[in-house]
Amino acid sequence: MTLSTTQQFAIVVDSGCDMPRSFYDENQVVLVPFHIRLGEDDMLDEPEAMPEDFYVRFSSRRERVRTSQPSLAEYEEVYQRLIDEGYDKIISLHMSSELSGSYQTALNAAACFENNNVAIEVVDTKLASAAQGLLVADLVAMRDKGDVSFEEALAHVQKLSSMTKIYFIPTQKNALSNKKKFDRGIFKHIHRMRDEMFGTRFLECLDENGALSTVTGAQDLSEACARLARTMSKDAQHLGHLVYVEMHAGTPRALSFIEKPLDTNEFSSQCAGIVEASPSIACYAGAGSIGVAYVPDDALFDSDFTANKAWIIN
């Protein structure tokens, strides 16, 4: 992908971000993929590299699935290539540092170019998945407008990050809370057995620091989705009209459980689109997980692009 150096700055993002995969090439965003280890295979989290039956193999649990962030060398290569193409300003957006080492690795890579008369701003979005995608879409709109400075765009995306929220409902056996550092050993085993026995589903979110947090438990998926809808309704009361994106990890039909309470709750909102989670996100949330990311409409730089055009799959 050749970028246009007439733009004010280049945009880099890791694959902890969920957007329609065609979005990156069409909007000149450089995607740095995570590594996915599926059984004995080590693959890049890119559409052309992932097997078509990824979710089938992942769900079967016959093969161990792991993820790791891009390497220092991979980030250095991306930044160097952009510099060679004529860019002297880069904004690099990354999955929450509480979930992945991608941000820190990118930060270390950027430090290698401090004496090259280039500005590389590495941002810990404190988000993931479609929430990170909302930031990327709005940043693209700012860049393409042409009269927004690098500094203005950076300040906007940092502020927007603090106003964007994401909620997940993981599958029972892959509850995000099971990945917390303190939930280990016998206690983790006991908690998991209890949850599977009683069919508990959890509503999880990323808090203001980008850390995983359990909001509430529910008896089943329908109740968890109803509680998510009520949470959004309360936010809409003081934030105004919400723009949201639905996310699923290989099970689009499960989104009907979210859409029903959202349709019946009377608050002002607009669904910008639906996106399938990348394998990187599926490794955190589990195949079959669903979620919603949302932001106040008036916080967006370009609501028309970010809430509409960015999520159209071409």
116-170, pLDDT tens digit by residue? 889 999 999 999 999 999 999 999 999 998 889 999 999 999 999 999 999 999 8
* Tally of CA atoms within 13 A in the half-sphere of 81 that contains its CB: 15
Least confident of 14-23, 248-257, 281-290: 281-290
Q: Check whether 224 has a pLDDT greater than 60.
A: yes
Name the percent of the chain lying above pLDDT 70: 82
**Beta bridge pairs of residue 212:** 206
Rounded mean pLDDT of 42-68?
65
Q: At what angle do helices 256-264 and 221-239 cross, to 10 degrees?
A: 40
Q: Do 260 and 230 touch, CB atoms closer than 8 A?
A: no
pLDDT confidence of residue 229: 95
pLDDT confidence of residue 227: 94
Q: Which domains does the chain have, with CATH numbers?
A: 10-161 (3.40.50.10170), 165-311 (3.30.1180.10)
Confidence of residue 282 (pLDDT cuts 50, 70, 90): confident
* Sheet hosting strand 269-276, strand order edge to edge: 212-218, 201-206, 165-169, 290-296, 242-248, 269-276
Instruction: Give the dihedral of Cα atoms 95, 165, 20, 179; nearest 10 deg.
Output: 50
Give dist(CA 277, CA 252) in Å, integer.
Answer: 10
Give dist(CA 285, CA 280) in Å, integer.
Answer: 9
Reading phi first (left if > 0) and then psi (alpha if -120 to 50, else beta), residue 107 is in alpha
Which pTM was predicted? 0.88
Q: Of 175, 160, 155, 277, nearest to 224 (Cα)?
A: 175
